[in-house]
Amino acid sequence: MRPWIWMPRLFELANCFLSLVFFSLFQSFRSINGDDFHKRFAKEILNSITQLGPCFIKIGQALSTRPDLVRRDWLDELTNLQDNLPPYDHSSAVNIIKKELGSTPSDLFEDFPSKPIAAASLGQVYKARLHADYWVAVKVQRPNLRFILRRDLVILRFLSIAISPFLPLNLGFKIEEIVDEFGRSLFEEIDYELEADNAEKFSKLFADNQSITVPTVERLLSSKRVITTSWICGTKLKDKNELRHNGINPDEIIRTGVVSGLQQLLEFGYFHADPHPGNMFALKSKKPGIGHIAYIDFGMMDEISDLDRITLTSALVHLFNNDFDELARDFQSLGFLNKEMDLRTIIPALNEVLGASFNESVSEFNFKAITDRFSQLMYEYPFRVPARFALVIRAVVSQEGLALRLNPDFKIIPVAYPYVAARLLSGETQELLNILLDVVFDSEGNLRIERIKSLLDVLKTDYDYRGKRTLPVAGLRLLFGRDGSLFRSKLLMYLVKRDKTNLSDFVSIIKSLRSNFNPSIVAESLF
């Protein structure tokens, strides 16, 4: 890009940074307490990011979902970046609609407001009436956005190359690769025709799930820079007190959000990569005990391969079971470790860093704990983060950050583990069945009693989105269905080759099964 375009912008960024530094120094000389200082400084940060525009607003949005990384008083200000930004001129929006859709808003809609209801980083949203009582959300892109993004991404990439040698990081990849991935996702996000495709695909994946709502795209009123969807009337996922005030249980919303996120990654291989509070709404539940969520804004989506989906499931199971030999092999398959590396050096390190956490208590473990302790390994061992996992990590971290905002005591593993276990017991694919066999039987064909108990115990209270128990149906398929033939043959071989049966091994398993295979519960699950 021509230097006379980006050089003035670079000076603007430097001036903004220096202003924050001088503000901090000036406030430190004044006789104000720490809390007041941070509140004022947070407002200054918000104003600076807002003035810097879309690229930097997106970075601020990512930070706004991390209450474990950002001070609470800063966080309260940064959440305004999600959908509480200054709008641009209404006449510019009208001109864009006319250019993109061929007519003025007054010709296209029965009622179109004179100002937007919300403004975000890349566009602003109007609540319009299409006909009768049918209301729609009309998102109109900010003017000259493609040029602005290209200019700022060039600067960010230049800065990342300049400062990376001075940062104490051993990430296994270059920081400019993160900027490139960030830029790729931004340019996809500003293509509203692609977003419309994404929304319709996402809707089909969750068509049978009553706990997830996706707005309907109005194709005749959508284009590259304008997208119109049905209006979602819900509660933003910002404040647990507001949710409770509207009769919504925050913990039920968290569970639905986490499980739907796992479904996207481990079942569909297609996921919403930007699940911040501005892109999700809580709705009144259709089923008691089951949270109901509406997703909006499908500009930032991504896919992972079937092989990656299966390997991620395998890695989670091996992590839950402290099987670090197999976990290291999973890291190789996913590309986090070189396939030629001697794993004998890394397995003890994985055990030391991650094993201690699970030995404490699975219920006390969360994704942030995993990333914190895993980062210790990045400095000493040749781990790298494959570029294709950049948005996966962002999505998972954002999802947990949102959950922590609603419940600071939230732990993701007690929700994730039952889901993964139920997936294994379903035996829907040969790959999942192979992972289950690896959990249940060791290399010599012996039953892993403790792992089986752990698998069953964690499923005692597991329900699917319809409020039905998942284990009985999965277990019946495994024990009597055609897909369970390999499982049954292995079990038979185990029983036949034993000289004597240690009944005590099975007592605890039977106790776990009894509550799940009670006739009334099986009937409830089937009907």
Of 514 and 343, the structure prediction assigns the larger pLDDT to 343
CA dist., res. 267 & res. 312, Å (int): 11
**The pLDDT value given to residue 165:** 66
* Active-site amino acid positions: 274
How far apart CA 292 and CA 283 sit, in angstroms, is 5
Q: Which of 164-173, 200-209, 318-327, 331-340 has the lowest mean pLDDT?
A: 164-173
The bridge status of strand 235-236 relative to strand 212-213 is unpaired
Residue 283 pairs in a beta bridge with 292
The rounded radius of gyration (Å) of the Cα atoms in the chain is 26
Which range (156-170, 269-283, 431-445) has the least confidence?
Answer: 156-170
Are 91 and 107 in contact by the 8 Å Cβ rule? The answer is no
Ramachandran angles phi, psi of 139, nearest 5°: -100, 125
Domain extents for the chain? 3-81, 427-526
Interatomic CA distance for residues 240 and 312, integer angstroms: 31
Nearest residue to 447 via CA among 432, 433, 459, 436? 436
pLDDT score, position 222: 97
Q: Residue 218 carries which side chain, given as an amino acid letter?
A: E
Q: HSE, CB side, 13 Å, CA atoms: give it for residue 76.
A: 9
> What is the arithmetic mean of pLDDT over 351-372?
59
% pLDDT > 90, the chain: 28
- In the numeric block, which tokens belong to residue 304? 């992972």
pLDDT tens for each residue of 225-257 = 999 999 999 998 888 889 999 999 999 999 899
Higher pLDDT, 484 or 208: 208
CB 19 within 8 A of CB 40: no
Integer Cα distance of 70 and 344 in angstroms: 37
Half-sphere exposure (Cβ direction) of 216: Cα atoms closer than 13 Å: 6
What proportions of the chain, in percent to the nearest 5, are helix, strand and coil? 60, 10, 30
User: Is 393 or 2 the better-scoring residue by pLDDT?
Assistant: 393
Tell me what pLDDT residue 8 has. Answer: 80
Tell me how many degrees the CA angle 167-168-171 measures, rounded to the nearest 5: 95
For 427, the 3-state DSSP assignment is coil
Sign of CA dihedral 245, 66, 194, 55: positive
pLDDT value, residue 467: 47
Q: What is the pLDDT of residue 298?
A: 94
The kind and range of the H/E element at 424 are helix 413-426
Sign of the alpha-carbon dihedral angle for 411, 414, 419, 424: positive
The encoded tokens of residue 196 equal: 């419309």
Output the CA–CA distances (angstroms, integers) from residue 290 to 268, 398, 525, in the order listed. 21, 21, 16
How much is the pLDDT for 97?
97
The CA–CA distances, whole Å, from 47 to 42, 116, 134 equal: 9, 20, 36
pLDDT at 372 over 70: no
State how far the alpha carbon of 402 is from the alpha carbons of 66, 108, 272, 397, in Å: 7, 37, 14, 9
d(CA 514, CA 106): 65
Q: Could you tell me the pLDDT band of residue 203, with boundaries at 50, 70 and 90?
A: very high
Least confident stretch, 34-43, 180-189, 489-498, 508-517: 508-517
